[in-house]
């Protein structure tokens, strides 16, 4: 986790778009050191590109949407979660249309594809946002804050008035291993009445029980049920990992979220970036120690 990374070879993910229901594909390509993560529309003349960062977020209502004057691309958070979890700093993501493929509604297809591409480590050090003072953001009864901590820890709580969800909480140190084991396969979820309303508006046309957990007023409609007993909060935590990639640098701190959807996460990212007195941009020396039992890293910061 100390050095910048990209992938070793070009790999692809194909599927359908959640909202259009049309074929969608992306191609991951290696990028030079110091590039960052860029999305490129290969179906548009001139191959316009934009960087995955907060200033390019255009909407957060049902998904994180990135855009520029030339194009928009929706539902990026699952892909970005996999990129962030694998600690990939430099990457070109080529798209054939306005949506990323939804896969099975989780981040797993992106994670496995990127792993197939292999990880290439550069000799240049990564830079991190190292939290030195608490930073807080809220919208009504929803909030997100970050506390000083010596690695990336995430605590996420959700609360829905549904008998199959209720109040759920997860807390974990986020690294490639814990992300794959605990978060990557958690699927997006929605309520049948909302899905039906979206389809009337020409949205969620690609949504099905194959790529989402769907609930009616009382139960889960998916024949095979859940992948985790608390799959709902795990998915929200996975979304948050993806949304935090928009910071531009990986974060070292303890992030605590309560009812935080994409809108709150975007506000939180903006608040963190503006709170320059509460963090430092650092590089890291080699980790001091690693415990396989707790999957916890002790880090030696080197201030940039």
Element housing 240 (H / E): helix 231-243
Beta pairing, strands 91-95 & 23-30: antiparallel
Radius of gyration of the chain (CA): 19
Measured CA to CA, the distance from residue 219 to residue 189 in angstroms comes to 12
Q: What is the sign of the dihedral through the CA atoms of 230, 266, 108 and 85?
A: negative
Residue 231: which of 213, 204, 244 has the closest Cα?
213
In contact, 79 and 186? CB cutoff 8 Å: no
Neighbouring CB atoms inside 10 A of 252's CB total 24
Provide CB contacts within 8 A for 39, sequence distance 6+. 49, 50, 51, 52, 66, 73, 76, 93, 95
Q: Is 262 a catalytic residue?
A: yes
Beta pairing, strands 251-258 & 128-131: parallel
Catalytic residue among 19, 262, 266, 296: 262
Q: What is the sign of the dihedral through the CA atoms of 32, 35, 37 and 40?
A: negative
Residues with a known catalytic role: 262
């Amino acid at each position: 986790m100390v050095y910048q990374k990209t992938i070793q070879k070009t790999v692809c993910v194909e599927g359908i778009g959640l909202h259009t229901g049309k074929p969608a594909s992306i191609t991951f390509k290696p990028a030079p050191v110091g590039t960052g993560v860029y999305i490129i529309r290969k179906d548009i003349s001139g191959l316009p590109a934009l960087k995955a960062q907060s200033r390019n977020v255009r909407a957060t209502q049902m998904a994180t949407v990135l855009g520029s004057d030339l194009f928009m691309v929706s539902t990026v958070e699952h892909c970005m979660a996999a990129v962030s979890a694998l600690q990939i700093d430099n990457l070109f993501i080529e798209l054939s249309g306005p949506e990323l493929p939804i896969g099975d509604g989780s981040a797993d297809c992106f994670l496995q594809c990127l792993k197939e591409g292999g990880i290439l480590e550069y000799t240049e050090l990564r830079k991190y946002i190292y939290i030195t003072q608490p930073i807080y953001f809220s919208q009504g009864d929803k909030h997100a804050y970050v506390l000083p901590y010596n690695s990336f820890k995430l605590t996420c709580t959700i609360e829905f008035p549904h008998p199959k969800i209720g109040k759920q909480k997860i807390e974990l140190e986020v690294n490639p291993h814990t992300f794959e084991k605990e978060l990557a396969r958690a699927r997006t979820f929605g309520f049948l009445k909302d899905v039906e309303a979206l389809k009337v508006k020409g949205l969620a046309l690609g949504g099905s029980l194959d790529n989402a957990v769907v609930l009616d007023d009382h139960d889960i409609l998916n024949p095979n049920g859940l992948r985790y007993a608390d799959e709902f909060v795990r998915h929200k935590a996975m979304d948050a990992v993806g949304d935090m990639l928009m910071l531009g640098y990986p974060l070292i701190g303890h992030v605590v979220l309560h009812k935080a959807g994409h809108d709150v996460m975007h506000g939180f990212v903006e608040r963190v970036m503006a709170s320059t007195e509460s963090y430092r941009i650092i590089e890291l020396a080699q980790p001091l120690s690693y415990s396989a039992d707790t999957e916890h890293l002790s880090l030696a910061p080197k201030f940039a």
